[in-house]
Amino acid sequence: MNQKHAVVIGSGFAGLSAATHLASNNYSVTLLEKNESPGGRARKFASHGFTFDMGPSWYWMPDVFEDYFSHFGKKPSDYYDLIRLDPSYAVVYGQDDILDIPANLDEFKAKLEEIEPGSANQLDEFLAQAKYKYQVGIHDLVKKPSRSLLEFTSLSLLKDIMRMDVFQSMSAHVRKFFKSDKIIRLMEFPVLFLGETAENIPALYSLMNYADIALGTWYPKKGMHEIIAGMVSLAEEKGVKIRYDAEVEEIEIADGLAKGVRLKSGEKVSADVVIAGADYHHVDKHLINPKYSNYSEEYWDKRVMAPSSLLFYLGVDKKLENLRHHNLFFDEPLGPHADAIYTKPRWPEAPLFYACVPSVTDKTVAPEGMENLFLLIPLAPDLEDSEETREKYYNIIMDRLEKISGQEIRSHVIFKRSYAHSDFKADYHAYKGNAYGLANTLKQTAILKPSLKNKKVNNLFYTGQLTVPGPGVPPSLISGYVVAKEVIRENS
Ligand SMILES: Cc1cc2nc3c(=O)[nH]c(=O)nc-3n(C[C@H](O)[C@H](O)[C@H](O)COP(=O)(O)OP(=O)(O)OC[C@H]3O[C@@H](n4cnc5c(N)ncnc54)[C@H](O)[C@@H]3O)c2cc1C
């Protein structure tokens, strides 16, 4: 049998997943990555003895990673060691008002009960619904290529969908169960990963609460990049040829078929099928002749993008006190910050932020006696991010971090690197400098997402966080699987 050659563009979770699935189904696969190392938004870098994960830091939904490796007869533990974090994370509501979220469910319920009597029982019902949504959502719905409504018309699935609160907002759903503002903020936090506020995210996504509370927050020893390192080893075991510093400049199309790609170096790589795991907009608007684009610039401009971020990677020359591995700073109201992200895009006055200190758990990511500190402020896409503005926000959040954690930090920072919109654009061709792709609003769910297949070019497919099923590491892994299945189905 003639082996088909697939070219996959981009070595993020989605590209690696698609490439490995195709290679293990008898495709010869070349994966082309513009950067010098793999992982896309989940790359790492080292400096001054610190090792920084550049993007994702929350390992949620461990079953999705198990599923991924099990397709190839493997387990995550063949590639990296996981630790369950306890506390899972801390929520900072204000000075001296910090809530540790215990990994143990009974301890968690006891904490809720202290805040709002009766809420522990409410949590049982809330989680029972969330579990059902998780099981149907993550093990069935997200694996649909979402190319036609017909995929969703089986009677049992329609019944499932009706039970899944697709048409109610997450905000209304949470308020049916809880009254305390603190608990509401806690329950609404996970949907921020999906790129919109709880008012605009369907209550289907309370499945994220099940992931958070029941399945737990995990950490791969040596950092999140270990997942990528494991995926790269597995891809290579399966025969995927990965090439770095290999930026694709054009997908060459003739007679309605992609014939291959042209690299920035001028080299051409031929292909029977092309799967683009780079940002969808970049592929659709810059890598193919406009006459083959799936969507217009107006279409893209109207999409609700998930936020961008201002990040700081900091090496601190002492141990920090009063900080957990994950710390959510909710010490300012969400409303005005959300308005600055989604309604009137601008730099926020008083941003919420997230501080990650992986060296609390892992000695390998910082020199002895020191701390690895990662700070993240979610921001509207497409903002100007001058050095001066970055520095202003560094000081705004450092003032709060130092005050609330009760220590001097700035004078102990011996390594500092910032990262924002212009870096996302330069490194990943990110549309509007987005960090997490396209938001999972109702109007951007399933068949309403940018299609995983080009409508005019029969062998050109898309994968990654701007198409189905959506943003985040687990969905990107699934996206690669879904697109590979479609390629295989159409070619068999
Ligand atoms: C700061 C940050 C924090 C996050 N935190 C979390 C978290 O805690 N948990 C979680 O689950 N998710 C998190 N996410 C989201 C998650 O990281 C992403 O959803 C996921 O990594 C996206 O994977 P992807 O494969 O779709 O895209 P990418 O990782 O962007 O991969 C696309 C690849 O294509 C390459 N490429 C682009 N153009 C070309 C070209 N022309 N030629 C060749 N290659 C090209 C890029 O270099 C890149 O390697 C976070 C993201 C960011 C940025």
Percent of the chain at pLDDT above 70?
100
- C-alpha atoms less than 13 angstroms from C-alpha of 77 in its C-beta half-sphere: 3
Tokens of residue 353, six digits: 């932020």
Tokens of residue 481, six digits: 């699987």
Amino acid at 130: A
Best substitution site from 228, 473, 478 to test ligand 1's pocket, by max atoms within 8 Å of Cβ?
473
Q: What is the pLDDT of residue 1?
A: 60
Q: 431 C-alpha vs ligand 1 centroid, how far in Å?
A: 12
The CA distances from residue 228 to 278, 424, 488, in Å, are 16, 19, 24
DSSP string, 65-115: HHHHHHTTT--GGGT--EEE-SS-EEEEEETTEEEEE-SSHHHHHHHHHHH
Q: What is the pLDDT of residue 162?
A: 77
Q: Which secondary-structure segment (H or E) carries 188?
A: helix 181-188
C-alpha to C-alpha distance for 200 and 411, rounded to whole angstroms: 41
Q: 94 C-alpha vs ligand 1 centroid, how far in Å?
A: 32
DSSP string, 357-423: -GGGT-GGGS-TT-EEEEEEEEE-TT----HHHHHHHHHHHHHHHHHHHTS--GGGEEEEEEE-HHH
C-alpha to C-alpha distance for 246 and 236, rounded to whole angstroms: 17
Average of per-residue pLDDT across 3-15: 98
Q: 111 C-alpha vs ligand 1 centroid, how far in Å?
A: 35
C-alpha to C-alpha distance for 257 and 250, rounded to whole angstroms: 13
Q: What is the pLDDT of residue 148?
A: 81
Asked if pLDDT for residue 22 goes beyond 70, the answer is: yes
Preceding amide of 469 cis, omega within 30: yes
Closest ligand 1 atom to residue 249 Cα is 41
Percent of the chain at pLDDT above 90?
87
DSSP string, 297-341: HHHHHHS-BPPEEEEEEEEESS--SS--SEEEE--S-HHHHHIII
Closest ligand 1 atom to residue 463 Cα is 26
Q: What is the pLDDT of residue 209?
A: 96
> Which of 213, 165, 168, 255 has its CA nearest to residue 456?
255
As a dihedral over the C-alpha atoms of residue 68, residue 69, residue 73, residue 76, rounded to 10 degrees, the angle is -150
Average of per-residue pLDDT across 238-250: 98
C-alpha to C-alpha distance for 210 and 391, rounded to whole angstroms: 37
Residue, of 189 and 90, whose pLDDT is higher = 90
> Which of 70, 216, 58, 198 has its CA nearest to residue 134?
216
Q: What is the pLDDT of residue 413?
A: 98
Q: Helix 62-70 crosses helix 473-491 at what angle (to 10 degrees)?
A: 30
C-alpha to C-alpha distance for 210 and 320, rounded to whole angstroms: 31
Residues with Cβ < 8 Å from 403, sequence gap 6 or more? 95
Residues recorded for the chain: 492
C-alpha to C-alpha distance for 296 and 354, rounded to whole angstroms: 35
CA angle 246/250/253 to nearest 5° reads 130
C-alpha to C-alpha distance for 61 and 442, rounded to whole angstroms: 22
Best substitution site from 436, 462, 463, 478 to test ligand 1's pocket, by max atoms within 8 Å of Cβ?
436
Asked if pLDDT for residue 123 goes beyond 70, the answer is: yes
Q: 123 C-alpha vs ligand 1 centroid, how far in Å?
A: 33
Give per-residue pLDDT as tens, 329-370: 999 999 999 999 989 999 999 999 999 999 999 999 999 999
Instruction: For residue 146, name the pLDDT band (cuts at 50, 70, 90).
Output: confident
Closest ligand 1 atom to residue 13 Cα is 25
DSSP string, 153-220: --HHHHHHHHTTTTTSBHHHHHHHH---HHHHHHHHGGGGGGTS-GGGSBGGGGHHHIIIIII--EEE
C-alpha 366 chain-centroid distance? 24
Q: What are phi and psi of 142, to 5 degrees?
A: -70, -10
Closest ligand 1 atom to residue 424 Cα is 53
Residues with CB under 6 A from ligand 1: 9-15, 32-35, 40-42, 55-58, 247-248, 277-278, 282, 309, 311, 376, 428-429, 435-437, 464-465, 471-473, 476
> Which of 367, 354, 368, 351 has its CA nearest to residue 323?
354
> Which of 178, 212, 175 has its CA nearest to residue 192?
212
Residue 162 DSSP SS3: helix
Q: 97 C-alpha vs ligand 1 centroid, how far in Å?
A: 34
Instruction: For residue 463, name the pLDDT band (cuts at 50, 70, 90).
Output: very high
- Hunting for tokens 């533990």 — which residue is that? 77
Q: 45 C-alpha vs ligand 1 centroid, how far in Å?
A: 15
C-alpha to C-alpha distance for 430 and 421, rounded to whole angstroms: 8
Q: What is the pLDDT of residue 226?
A: 98
The CA distances from residue 14 to 353, 407, 451, in Å, are 27, 41, 15
Q: What are phi and psi of 207, to 5 degrees?
A: -55, -25
Q: How far apart are the first and last CA of the chain?
A: 12
- Do 201 and 440 form a contact (C-beta atoms < 8 A)? yes
Residue, of 156 and 351, whose pLDDT is higher = 351
Instruction: For residue 299, name the pLDDT band (cuts at 50, 70, 90).
Output: very high
C-alpha 428 chain-centroid distance? 14
- Do 192 and 378 form a contact (C-beta atoms < 8 A)? yes
C-alpha to C-alpha distance for 81 and 226, rounded to whole angstroms: 9
Residue, of 439 and 236, whose pLDDT is higher = 236
Average of per-residue pLDDT across 318-324: 98
Look over the chain and give the mean of its residue pLDDT values, rounded to a whole number: 95
Q: What is the pLDDT of residue 106?
A: 98
